[in-house]
Amino acid sequence: MDWQTKRIYWDIELKNQWPEAVKTLSRKGAKILDFSNPEEITEADIIFTVGRGDVHASCIPVLRTDKYPDQLCCDMVTDEMTAGEAMGVFERWIDIRCLASDLDLTDIPVVDKYTTESLERLAGPDVLRIGRGKFLKSATRYLREMELAKNGHKIEEVTKVLHTLKGSSGTIGARQMSRATKLIEDRRESEFDEAVFTMELNLLRMLLEYFRYESIEWENKRSNGEKNFNG
Amino acid sequence: MAKRILMADDSPVIQSLSKKIFQNQGYEFKGTKSGMNVVEVIRENDFDVLILDIILPDANGMEIARQIRQLEDGKKASIPIIAVSGNYKNYSASDFAEAGITAFLIKPLNYDQLVNTVKKYIE
């Protein structure tokens, strides 16, 4: 993984809590953005924060400490972790962000506008809301099933579940997720590397959180009476 | 009397959305997540169209289509079968024709296209 191009935003509190991690990541080539300048957050490829509620951007993993648990973050470091364990979390998500770039996911919208419009028109907004809820629930289950199948070396089972997830995500308009599952499925046809698939699973978890976030946003705007909002 | 649609697809999301969309269009809709019983359900009931996922966890949609085409009841054996799949590269047009597939749509499903295709063959 090429970390040279990755720009990492560290919240000032995290920098104080994990100074060694910041130094190590810098040594590995990651560009650390100015901790004191929240403006730079928009330039980031990955964000480590203690809990800014408004921080979110497409394909930017957001990590938080357990001080501010939030369902929209991808992962957390906790006060109980050793520096090495925390570093492991940081490294894992930088690699996942690199994978998202490698798969060209970063320029793809989280939610497909056309699919959303089509489903709203044919089924109605309530059905779309329920459908998205079902998707989030079933996708979470599929990710868990794939994790278990991977651990049990049941590659065929992984392939089946991944295929189902691909179909569901495309149908509901989870476009990044749909694209990622397609690419992962194509890679599976030629090889199965457990370490790579572990990372791919984490990538899918991250994309699912983005879709959850976008769905909540969509619903909030709907309930606030904003018309013609297409995700 | 409302026309009846059977859909075989293991995704609860696709089942749920399809049910509402086709009910809104005035159709009766029944879904099954398993491919094992599709032939039996067709044999025992009257449906006007079958939407069939080619890759089901427990069955091969192409084989299901072949078995339906061999049913003794001519009306049931000739039910329009709209196949859907994301892995279309594995099959050619002649494979679909040989299996008795009436129409094929690529996943992810475009519901406008699916509704129009169902209307074309059902009415």
Name the phi and psi angles at B15, rounded to 5: -60, -50
Name the phi and psi angles at B32, rounded to 5: -135, 140
Asked whether the predicted pLDDT for residue A220 surpasses 50, the reply is yes
The confidence score (pLDDT) of residue B48 equals: 97
Cβ atoms B85, B55 nearer than 8 A: yes
Query: What single DSSP character describes residue A30?
Result: P
What is the average per-residue pLDDT within A14-43?
Answer: 72
Whether A122 and B108 lie within 8 Å, measured CB to CB:
no
Quick one: pLDDT band at residue B61, thresholds 50, 70, 90? Answer: very high
Residue of A nearest to B10 (CA): A164
What token pair was written down for B76?
Answer: 């049931």
What token pair was written down for A181?
Answer: 């599952």
Whether A123 and B24 lie within 8 Å, measured CB to CB:
yes
The confidence score (pLDDT) of residue A34 equals: 66
The CATH class of the A113-223 domain is mainly alpha
More confident call, A76 vs A23: A23
The confidence score (pLDDT) of residue B41 equals: 96
Chain-centre distance for alpha carbon A131: 20
Nearest CB neighbour to A118, from listed B12, B14, B111: B111
When mean pLDDT is compared across A2-16, A100-114, A168-182, the lowest value belongs to A2-16
Whether B21 and A122 lie within 8 Å, measured CB to CB:
yes
Whether B57 and A160 lie within 8 Å, measured CB to CB:
yes
The confidence score (pLDDT) of residue B26 equals: 95
The confidence score (pLDDT) of residue A14 equals: 67
Alpha-carbon torsion A26, A28, A29, A32, what sign? negative
Q: What are the residues whose beta carbons fall under 8 Å from the beta carbon of A60, sequence distance 6 or more?
A: A44, A45, A46, A47, A97
The confidence score (pLDDT) of residue A1 equals: 47
Each domain of chain B, given as residue ranges in start order, spans 4-122
Q: Which of B102, B101, B115, B49 is nearest to B76 (CA)?
A: B49
Asked whether the predicted pLDDT for residue B105 surpasses 90, the reply is yes
Asked whether the predicted pLDDT for residue B87 surpasses 90, the reply is no
Chain-centre distance for alpha carbon A181: 13
The confidence score (pLDDT) of residue A74 equals: 64
Asked whether the predicted pLDDT for residue A156 surpasses 80, the reply is yes
Indicate where chain A has its CATH 3.40.50.2300 domain(s): 7-102
Domain A7-102 has CATH 3.40.50.2300: yes
The confidence score (pLDDT) of residue A60 equals: 55
Which residues make beta-bridge pairs with A62? A47
Whether A172 and B17 lie within 8 Å, measured CB to CB:
yes
What is the average per-residue pLDDT within A216-231?
Answer: 67
Side-chain-facing half-sphere of B103: CA atoms under 13 Å: 17
Q: What is the mean pLDDT of chain B?
A: 93
CATH code of the domain made up of B4-122: 3.40.50.2300
Indicate where chain A has its CATH 1.20.120.160 domain(s): 113-223
Asked whether the predicted pLDDT for residue A42 surpasses 90, the reply is no
Whether B112 and A118 lie within 8 Å, measured CB to CB:
yes
CB < 8 Å to B55, chain A: 163
Alpha-carbon span A163 to A150, nearest angstrom? 15
High-pLDDT (> 90) share of chain A, %: 24
CB < 8 Å to B11, chain A: 138, 164, 167-168, 171
CB < 8 Å to B57, chain A: 160, 164
Interface of A to B at Cβ within 8 Å reads: 115, 118-119, 122-124, 127, 130-131, 134-135, 138, 160, 163-164, 166-172, 178, 182
Residue type, B88: Y
Which of B9, B17, B87 should we substitute to test contact with A (largest number of A Cβ atoms within 10 Å)? B17
Asked whether the predicted pLDDT for residue A11 surpasses 80, the reply is no
